[in-house]
Amino acid sequence: MKKIIFGIFIVLGLLLNFSTEREVFAAQQPNNMDAKQYLMDLHKDFYAENLTAHILINAETPMGNLNLDMNVIGKSSEPIVYKVTNKMTFQMLGQTANEVQVMQYAQQKGNDLEVYTLDNKKWYKQKFKNFKGTSSEKELMEMQLALIKSVSIQYETEDSLDAEYIFDFSPIGEFIESSLSEDKDVFKNEADKKQFISVCKTVMNQIGEMPYKEHLDKKNKSITTTLDFSDTVRRSADAIMDQFPEMKLRDRVAVKQFLDASTITMNTEIKPMDGNEEIKVPEEAIKNAEEMKLDKSGKVKK
């Protein structure tokens, strides 16, 4: 399981972190490079058994603001353990801000993954059987290459210790469609399934069309991004509303005006974890957690 956390961070980054600075990239005409070679270098230069990720998401709308501050720490000890801390702040216009904090631990026990969640001062436990706890470098590489069409250099210092790269992705809506089509338990009928898949495919294709730029500090082995999703959200909403011709014009106008006045940004930083930091599921969680069992559709069994 030495590469699973690294893989999760990178793959999530490839799916979620895209940049809207299309004109800037085109003007600077970066040099093309081989995607596979780039990923091989990334694994070699940035791979660490223990990684930490800090993610900040900020949304500002006419109705109010939302801020999500997430810290993820992963350690590939025996058993595998990781910790996630979420702090969400939501403030409606003219009202006092509300803050919600959620803490989560996960550890591998044999072939199972146990997840402990602290929510509103109460611990909950979920068990996922037959958890695949290993991922070979070849499997990880194939998974990433399936999404990446090309990689370009934005800039690079002479000593190659500091650089920025741009990714161009293959259409990723097809990956989502294939995955959702195989699920036979979640959807009540075929019409709901087709509509849901169509919406997801539309959104993911909009995201996939965005260039994604990341900054690599090879000296400190950190990967950082500052991204603006505002335009992509607007385009996605337009594309989705086009699929619902029965939607009233005044409602479409209201949605457009709302999104035109809204912004959503994300900042991320991924770097090696402090080697002295220990991750351990609290004894309180192990002793007191209420186990939550899920049915095939992912809903909690009563």
> What residues does each domain of the chain span?
4-170+211-228+264-291
Supply the mean pLDDT for the chain: 75
**Cα distance between residue 153 and residue 269, in whole Å:** 19
* Residue 135, SS3 per DSSP: coil
Please give the structure tokens belonging to residue 76.
């590939």
- DSSP letter (8 states) at residue 65: E
Instruction: Tell me: pLDDT of 94 over 50.
Output: yes
What pLDDT is stored for residue 255 in this prediction?
A: 92
* Residue 113, SS3 per DSSP: strand
What pLDDT is stored for residue 141 in this prediction?
A: 64
Please give the structure tokens belonging to residue 88.
């969400």
The DSSP secondary structure of 244-291, one letter per residue, reads -TTS-HHHHHHHHHHHHT-EEEEEEEEEEPPTT------HHHHHHPEE
* Residue 16, SS3 per DSSP: helix
| Residue 203 near residue 197 (C-beta atoms within 8 A) | no
| Residue 279 near residue 52 (C-beta atoms within 8 A) | no
End-to-end CA distance of the chain: 34
- Using N-to-C axis directions, what is the helix angle for 4-16 and 137-145, rounded to 10°? 0
pTM: 0.72
Instruction: Strands of the chain (E only): list them.
Output: 31-33, 51-60, 64-75, 81-92, 98-109, 112-119, 122-128, 148-156, 162-169, 212-217, 222-228, 263-272, 290-291
**Cα distance between residue 49 and residue 301, in whole Å:** 36
Q: Which of the residue ranges 6-10, 27-31, 199-203 would you say has the lowest mean pLDDT?
A: 6-10
Please give the structure tokens belonging to residue 205.
């294709």
Q: List the one residue out of 284, 223, 278 whose CA is nearest residue 82.
A: 278
Place of tokens 């920025």: 164
46-60, 92-106, 194-208, 270-284 — most confident range = 92-106
List pLDDT tens digits, range 247-278.
899 999 999 999 999 999 989 998 888 766 77
What pLDDT is stored for residue 239 in this prediction?
A: 84
**Cα distance between residue 198 and residue 148, in whole Å:** 22
